[in-house]
Amino acid sequence: MAAATNNPPLSVSASASSPASLPSVEEELPPKLLEIVRLFQSVHEPRAKYEQLLFYGKNLKPLDEVYKTRKNKVEGCVSQVWVRAYLDSERNVVFEADSDSVLTKG
């Protein structure tokens, strides 16, 4: 059995020969999402990560029933999952999702 390794966070970078360097994936994330990513990176105990996912799942607002349609349903999941994407007034892509499983929702 292979030993587990701690892999560094993924990022996109340009090679040394590239004229301009590309920003890391983390630099492209909205501040709140970046905060969540950093939280999960800092927690090494699997049970603590699981409990954090449950916390998020219990505290996220549900998706409006009008969007729980076949078009928005994620096929192939054991749980019922719906995802909606739209542009807000500032032309940002916004994702909303819901699930009948608290863990999946988190």
Question: CA dist 89 to 23, 29, 83, 93, 106, Å?
Answer: 26, 19, 19, 10, 26
Determine which one of 77, 85, 94, 103 is catalytic.
77
- Annotation marks residue 81 as catalytic: no
Rounded CA separation 59/23 (Å): 32
Residue positions annotated with a catalytic role: 77
